[in-house]
């Protein structure tokens, strides 16, 4: 097949509905692979929220494209090609055309791949392993059915059968590849199955954030640029969404499913409140405007509490834009007989329909505006990262006047995380503040002269003694 310099794709996914569940199907040359993908995606849809299923399916499509493109460039799918593909997959994700591997660079250029951060690669590999685990279980089951005579050799391949195998491969190896698909291996002219171990990400997310001068990196939107971004918005709705991201760090799915009654504006002497309610907790209300499939797609990832906690200066921007936006919506609904009446907070600009199903539109508007302000592309989730990063490093600590950065357990509560592990992905420590702390520690140490363990122990005991004596004097004891 002739190739040109345009972006090449071996597979694509499209959204479908099966038994009332929004899921995906795979379009590619291999009908068996496509059928298996549909079953795998549907099983995910039965257990997980739509956005999770969407992410898994998109990630696996990238893996399939990568492996098939490597097989194409190397003349066929062999066990070695498969091993090399798995070994290089993270390199492909993170570096793309900047990879030191010539083959990976060619594949990235051919597929038009955009590099991702090293820490994000773990998600793609988790998705890939889910698919590979399922396909391996399928293959083992098919082998057992073949052993007892229920299926023939022709149906054993879970992955593409139409890839051209190396013409000089021994017949026994070719047969093994067909039998074991991506999980076969050949050693010294013989054949044996590769022990399945799964893919493992080599990049680990750092607990330290090396941000720019404005407090931004590949994950977190620059703190000092957010006000400029909010003020650059072309409408109060966008400004409200962006200021909400900075004020209380919601997920975009949580924002778009908010109803008007979830927001209680501040009054004299009383602070405003914003609640985040799981859609499944009010199906009777949402069913007035959304279909069951739309409600399923709108489900949240899950929070430990519906309460949110707004931080300044973004809280002030949120309340200002909330008031302006609500006036615009009410005026539009009054003037337009075609306005779609509903209780959703965020609506489309043309006809006031719920914005809940328009994630891509919201994402694209933010991405373009963020690039104009910062010179780099950010997704909406970067605001949630920014929120956690701010709380952990720059938020004034009310328990320790003059200190900044809240205890990690407090950050967990403010972000609504069920586990501390989830919070640690956001509440990273600022590298420059850590360096300043170490510098101050070293300065104090140098001023005190030579170091010894015994000397530090004595100083520690002396401090404890003074604290005990002070406490006793406060209690009236001499």
Please give the helix or strand (H or E) that residue 16 lies within, else none.
Answer: strand 12-18
pLDDT band at 428 (very low <50, low <70, confident <90, very high): confident
Mapped onto helix, strand or coil, the DSSP state of residue 230 is helix
Domain assignments of the chain as residue spans, ordered by start:
12-168, 208-431, 448-478
Question: For 137-180, how does the pLDDT look when each residue is reduced to its tens digit (9 = 90+)?
Answer: 776 666 666 666 665 555 444 443 333 333 333 444 344 434 43
Cβ neighbours of residue 182 closer than 8 Å, sequence gap 6 or more: 67, 77, 82, 132, 135, 158, 159
Alpha carbons within 13 A on the beta-carbon side of 258: 24
Q: How far is CA 449 from CA 445, 446, 452, in A?
A: 7, 5, 10
CATH of region 208-431, choose from 3.30.70.360, 1.10.260.40, 1.10.443.10, 3.40.1550.10 = 1.10.443.10
CA Rg value for the chain: 28
Question: For 305-341, how does the pLDDT look when each residue is reduced to its tens digit (9 = 90+)?
Answer: 888 889 888 899 999 999 999 998 888 888 887 777 8
pLDDT band at 132 (very low <50, low <70, confident <90, very high): confident
Mean pLDDT of 286-299: 81
Counting residues of the chain whose pLDDT is more than 90, the rounded percentage is 18
Higher model confidence: residue 89 or residue 146?
89
Please report how the helices 50-73 and 102-111 are oriented relative to each other, as an axis angle in degrees rounded to 10: 120
Q: List phi, psi (to 5°) of 186.
A: -130, 130
- What's residue 183's pLDDT? 34
Q: Is the dihedral of CA 73, 160, 85, 16 positive or negative?
A: positive
- What's residue 172's pLDDT? 41
């Amino acid at each position: 097949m002739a190739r040109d310099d345009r972006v090449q794709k071996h597979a694509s996914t499209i959204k479908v509905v099966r038994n009332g569940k929004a899921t995906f199907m795979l379009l590619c040359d291999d009908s068996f692979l496509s059928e298996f993908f549909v079953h795998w995606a549907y099983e995910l849809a039965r257990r997980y929220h739509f956005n999770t299923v969407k992410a898994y399916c998109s990630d696996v499509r990238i893996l399939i494209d990568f492996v098939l493109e490597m097989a194409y460039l190397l003349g066929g799918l062999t066990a070695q090609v498969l091993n090399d593909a798995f070994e290089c997959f993270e390199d492909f994700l993170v570096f793309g055309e900047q990879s030191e591997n010539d083959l990976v660079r060619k594949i990235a250029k051919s597929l038009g791949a955009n590099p991702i951060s090293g820490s994000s690669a773990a998600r793609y590999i988790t998705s890939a392993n889910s698919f590979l685990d399922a396909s391996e279980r399928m293959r083992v089951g098919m082998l057992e059915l073949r052993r007892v005579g229920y299926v023939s050799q022709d149906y054993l391949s879970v992955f593409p059968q139409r890839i051209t195998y190396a013409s000089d491969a021994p017949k026994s190896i070719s047969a093994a590849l067909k039998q074991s698909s991506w999980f076969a291996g050949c050693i010294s002219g013989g054949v044996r199955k590769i022990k399945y171990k799964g893919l493992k990400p080599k990049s680990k997310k750092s607990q330290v954030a090396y941000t720019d001068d404005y407090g931004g990196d590949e994950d977190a939107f620059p703190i000092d640029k957010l006000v400029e971004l909010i003020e650059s918005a072309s409408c109060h709705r966008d400004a409200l969404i962006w200021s909400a991201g900075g004020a209380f760090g919601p997920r975009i799915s949580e924002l778009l499913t908010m109803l008007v009654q979830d927001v209680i504006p501040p009054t004299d002497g009383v602070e405003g409140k914003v609640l985040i309610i799981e859609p499944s907790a009010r199906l009777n209300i949402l069913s007035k405007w959304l279909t069951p499939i739309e409600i399923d797609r709108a489900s949240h990832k899950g929070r430990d509490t519906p309460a949110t906690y707004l931080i300044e200066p973004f809280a002030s921007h949120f309340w200002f834009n909330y008031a302006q936006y609500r006036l615009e919506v009410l005026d539009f609904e009054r003037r337009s007989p075609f306005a779609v009446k509903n209780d959703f907070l965020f609506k489309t600009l043309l006809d006031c329909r719920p914005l809940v199903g328009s994630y891509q539109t919201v994402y694209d508007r933010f991405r373009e505006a963020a690039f104009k302000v910062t010179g780099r592309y950010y997704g909406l989730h970067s605001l949630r990262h920014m929120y956690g990063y701010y709380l952990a490093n720059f938020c004034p600590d009310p328990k320790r006047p003059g200190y900044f950065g809240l205890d990690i357990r407090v950050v967990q509560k403010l972000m609504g995380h069920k586990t501390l592990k989830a919070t640690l992905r956001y509440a990273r420590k600022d590298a420059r503040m850590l360096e300043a702390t170490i510098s101050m520690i070293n300065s104090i140490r140098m001023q005190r002269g030579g170091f010894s363990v015994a000397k530090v122990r004595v100083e520690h005991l002396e401090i404890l003694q003074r604290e005990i004596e002070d406490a006793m004097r406060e209690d009236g004891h001499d």
